Chain A
Amino acid sequence: QKEVEQNSGPLSVPEGAIASLNCTYSDRGSQSFFWYRQYSGKSPELIMSIYSNGDKEDGRFTAQLNKASQYVSLLIRDSQPSDSATYLCAVKRDTGGFKTIFGAGTRLFVKA
């Protein structure tokens, strides 16, 4: 079992729809959870971080965390073609450390 699992996709949604990206992790002691966006051929960039159970909203993005189910999700509302990218889920056990485990990513296509 991979430490961080994501559906590789591609996930295809029409413009204006909600895109839902999911991630599960195996280490129950994980404390910090992140979503990175990576455009093709570019480096990953952090778009959301979440540390406690529940929802965290930032503009069109909402991260959801359920530690009991070891599940993290990212919702993108009003999806735009510019959101087309690979989304990497990342998990860290301890706060401040550097041991971050990345999932393989989910490719998202937003059709105009």
Chain B
Amino acid sequence: EAQVTQNPRYLITVTGKKLTVTCSQNMNHEYMSWYRQDPGLGLRQIYYSMNVEVTDKGDVPEGYKVSRKEKRNFPLILESPSPNQTSLYFCASKKGSPGNTIYFGEGSWLTVV
């Protein structure tokens, strides 16, 4: 089954404690991306990757890091989480050109206290 898998799905953590949200896709997609979704603001892109070892900032990259060492994996790293990073996070993937359909993971609810 084609899917984007992210873990953990739910996490409560404390300010300053480094955490990693993993993301893996099994569709051999070139593009992967992370979004955060907040009430009234919709989906905002954090980082994206066009292929292995190629990453770039989205609209809200501050406080986040990513890496793309393998085509299937695109982890999101919060080096020192803060309460304003409390949000619902989605990993997504898309086939390269001319693919347009974005496939989303199930989401990770992150609370930073």
| Residue in B42, B90, B94, B98 whose beta carbon sits within 8 Å of that of A98 in the complex | B94
CB distance from A2 to the nearest CB of B (A): 9
A1 proximal to B (CB < 8 A): no
| Residue in A42, A88, A95, A104 whose beta carbon sits within 8 Å of that of B97 in the complex | A95
Q: Label chain A's interface by main secondary structure.
A: loop
A69 proximal to B (CB < 8 A): no
| Residues A98 and B50 in contact in the complex (CB < 8 Å), given A88-B43, A103-B42, A104-B41 | yes
Q: Are A43 and B101 in contact (CB under 8 A)?
A: no
Q: Tell me the bound Cα distance from A96 to B94 in angstroms.
A: 9
Question: Considering only CB atoms, which chain A residue lies closest to B32 in the complex?
Answer: A98
Give every chain B residue within 8 A of A34 (Cβ-Cβ): 100
CB distance from B10 to the nearest CB of A (A): 11
| Residue in A32, A43, A46 whose beta carbon sits within 8 Å of that of B106 in the complex | A43
Interface centre among B40, B43, B99 (most CB of A within 10 A): B43
| Residue in B90, B97, B107 whose beta carbon sits within 8 Å of that of A97 in the complex | B97
Q: Tell me the bound Cα distance from A97 to B41 in angstroms.
A: 22
- Which chain B residues numbered 30 to 64 have a C-beta less than 8 Å away from chain A? 31, 33, 35, 40-45, 48, 50
| Chain A contact residues, CB within 8 Å of chain B | 4, 8, 32, 34, 41-46, 49, 88, 90, 92, 95-100, 102-105
- 3 smallest A-B Cβ distances: which pairs? A96-B97, A104-B42, A43-B104
* Listed A/B pairs (21) with beta-carbon separation below 8 Å: A8-B40, A32-B100, A43-B105, A43-B107, A44-B90, A44-B104, A46-B102, A49-B101, A90-B102, A92-B100, A95-B97, A95-B98, A95-B100, A96-B96, A96-B100, A98-B50, A99-B45, A100-B45, A102-B35, A102-B42, A104-B42
